[in-house]
């Protein structure tokens, strides 16, 4: 609704613009309240607070992404491995194949949770700029001739693998581990 009202504001006259600005201010206050409630809920539950601290250790993962992660998959034990979590999110490669011919390039499957995929997009872009492990992967994939969007998809998948590893082992991310 917030974005809709901002879009409507662009074409509004003075009278309607005043009402829209009041509604936007109300929506901003409500968004702030909901974020505070989410924060309080996480802080009141020790296990959520512990998992949040683990996720904050991964470069590129922000508060907004952490909230989505904690709300979408509460227990990491439900996934047998990181590949299963990547499939749940829908960032695994899908190969186009008919019989013995393989036509077209591999694409992201998008069979999982779109909300999670959206939550990992911006962190992947940040990680491509700041995360040493993912920056190294980017160099390798660029040299192999992969497209920019394929590299972003690979970065999303790598972040999901890191999230799985950190939550499964209960150990914060260590950039010097490799």
* 149-165 burial code (b ≥16 CB/10 A, e <16): ebbbbbbbbbbbbbbbb
- Report the C-alpha gap between 53 and 140 in whole angstroms: 31
- Report the C-alpha gap between 146 and 153 in whole angstroms: 11
Most confident of 37-46, 70-79, 101-110: 37-46
Instruction: Identify the band that residue 68 occupies on the pLDDT scale cut at 50, 70 and 90.
Output: confident
pLDDT for 99 beyond 80: no
Number of compact structural domains in the chain: 2
pLDDT at residue number 132: 82
Residue 136 lies in a domain: yes
Are 25 and 108 in a shared domain?
Answer: no
Contact 42, 49 (CB under 8 A): yes
Residue 138 lies in a domain: yes
Are 77 and 126 in a shared domain?
Answer: yes
Q: What pLDDT, in 10s, does the model give residues 145-165?
A: 888 888 888 999 999 999 999
Are 32 and 84 in a shared domain?
Answer: no
Contact 98, 104 (CB under 8 A): no
pLDDT for 101 beyond 60: no
Are 35 and 98 in a shared domain?
Answer: no
The whole domain housing 24 covers 1-44
Axis crossing angle, helix 114-130 with helix 148-169, rounded to the nearest 10:
100
Residue 178 lies in a domain: no
pLDDT for 178 beyond 60: no
Q: What pLDDT, in 10s, does the model give residues 112-139?
A: 777 888 888 899 999 898 888 888 899 9
Are 111 and 67 in a shared domain?
Answer: yes
Are 65 and 108 in a shared domain?
Answer: yes
Residue 176 lies in a domain: no
Residue 13 lies in a domain: yes
What proportion of the chain, given as a percentage, has pLDDT over 90? 21
Are 107 and 152 in a shared domain?
Answer: yes
Q: What is the DSSP string of 55-81?
A: HHTSTT--HHHHHHHHHH-S-GGGSSS
Are 31 and 13 in a shared domain?
Answer: yes
C-alpha to C-alpha distances, 36 to 72, 108, 141, nearest whole angstrom: 19, 34, 40
pLDDT at residue number 89: 84
Q: What pLDDT, in 10s, does the model give residues 3-46?
A: 899 888 888 888 888 999 999 999 999 999 998 998 899 889 89
pLDDT at residue number 115: 82
Are 73 and 142 in a shared domain?
Answer: yes
Instruction: Identify the band that residue 96 occupies on the pLDDT scale cut at 50, 70 and 90.
Output: low
Are 59 and 113 in a shared domain?
Answer: yes
Residue 165 lies in a domain: yes
């Amino acid at each position: 609704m917030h974005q809709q009202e901002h879009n409507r504001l662009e074409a509004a006259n003075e009278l309607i613009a005043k009402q829209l600005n009041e509604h936007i201010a109300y929506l901003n206050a409500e968004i702030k309240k909901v974020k505070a409630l989410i924060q309080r809920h996480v802080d009141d539950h020790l296990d959520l607070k512990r998992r949040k601290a683990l996720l904050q250790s991964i470069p590129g993962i922000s508060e907004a992404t952490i909230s989505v992660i904690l709300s979408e998959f509460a227990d990491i034990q439900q996934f047998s491995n990181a590949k299963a979590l990547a499939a749940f999110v829908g960032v695994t490669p899908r190969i186009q194949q008919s019989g013995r011919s393989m036509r077209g390039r591999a694409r992201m499957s998008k069979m999982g949770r779109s909300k999670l995929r959206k939550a990992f997009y911006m962190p992947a872009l940040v990680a491509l700029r700041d995360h040493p492990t993912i920056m190294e992967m980017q160099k390798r994939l660029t040299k192999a001739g992969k497209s920019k969007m394929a590299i972003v998809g690979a970065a999303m998948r790598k972040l999901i693998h890191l999230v799985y590893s950190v939550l499964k082992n209960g150990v914060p991310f260590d950039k010097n581990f490799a």
